[in-house]
Copies of this chain bind each other. A is one copy, B any other.
Amino acid sequence: MDISKQLLEQFPIFQSLPPADIDEAMQGSHVRRVAKGGSPFSTNSPCTGFSVLLSGTVRVVKLGASGREVELYRLQPGESCLISTSCLLGKANYTAAAIAQTDLLMFTIPPSIFKRLLARNEAFRDFVFSQFSQRLADLMMLVEAIAFQKLDQRLAAILLDAAPETRGSQAQLADRLGTVRDIVGRLLKNFEQRGLVALGRERIRVLDPEGLKAIAERPS
C-alpha cells in the first residue's frame, strides 16, 4: 500500500526511523477515516492505540453543564492525540471529547507495537515526549488566558490567528471561548463599530489587525 510512503513524506518523525522500525509500525496498524463532526476517539472505547493525524483538524474540547464547551487544544496533521495514548501508559482516563472539525485521516499503531517502538527508538520517544510537552504548554497558556484575559482579548487573538478572515458561526467561536453566542455577537458588534472587522454570515474579515492586536495584548 501507499500509506507508508505518505507517512514518510509528510512527517519528519517517521523519516528518522530506521526501515526496520517503519516496517514494524506498519504491521497491525491501520488507517481510519472519520467524517467531519465524528469523534475520532470515542470516550467509551478507549485505548485503541497510538494515533497520528494524517490530515484534517481535531478539536479537543471539554463539555460542561448546560451544553457549554471549551476548546482545550487543536490537533493538526502530524500531531498525535495523547488523550487516547496516555491511558495506555498512565492509567488516567480523561473526560475530554475529541471532535473532527473536518474529514480526518488517521494512522493508528496498536499498543504492543507502540510500546516496542518506544523502547527501541529514541527519535520516536522524542516525538512522543514533544507531543506531551506541546499539550502541556497549550493547556497552560489556555489556563492563563481564561484566568487573566477578558473575553474581548481572547476573541481578538482568535481573529488575528485566523486573519485575514474567520469562517464559521458565532456559536462556534463561542464554543472555542467557552461562552455563549450572545456574548460573541455583542463583542463582534463592538469591534465592527470601531472599524476593526467586517461582519457577514459565517464570516468575519479583519480590517484593522493593529487595532485588534492592541486589544489582544492590552494589559490588565
| A contacts, CB < 8 Å to B | 62, 64-66, 68, 70, 72, 82, 86-87, 89-92, 94-96, 115, 118-119, 122, 125-126, 129-137, 139-140, 142-144, 146-148, 178, 219-220
Contacts and interface: CB of A to CB of B under 8 A. Distances in A.
28 contacts: A62-B143, A65-B148, A65-B220, A68-B147, A68-B148, A70-B143, A86-B136, A87-B133, A89-B129, A90-B126, A90-B133, A91-B130, A92-B133, A92-B134, A92-B136, A92-B137, A94-B136, A94-B137, A115-B122, A118-B125, A136-B136, A136-B139, A139-B140, A139-B143, A142-B143, A143-B146, A146-B146, A147-B178
Contacts of A89: 125-126, 129-130, 133
A86 B129 contact: yes
Contacts of A129: 86, 89-90, 132
Contact of A219 (B65, B82, B139, B178): B65
Contacts of A142: 143
Contacts of A137: 92, 94
A117 to B, nearest CB: 12
A82 B90 CA distance: 15
A86 to B, nearest CB: 4
B133 A86 contact: yes
A90 B80 CA distance: 14
A178 B143 CA distance: 10
Contacts of A92: 130, 133-134, 136-137
Nearest to A142: B143
A70 to B, nearest CB: 5
Contacts of A126: 89-90
* Most-contacted residue by chain B among A115, A142, A143 (CB, 10 A): A143
Contacts of A144: 62, 64, 70
A119 B130 contact: no
A148 B90 contact: no
A99 to B, nearest CB: 15
Contacts of A82: 132-133, 136
Given A62-B140, A94-B140, A136-B136, 18 more contacts: A64-B147, A64-B148, A66-B220, A70-B144, A70-B148, A86-B129, A86-B132, A89-B125, A89-B126, A89-B130, A89-B133, A90-B129, A96-B140, A119-B125, A135-B136, A139-B139, A139-B140, A142-B143
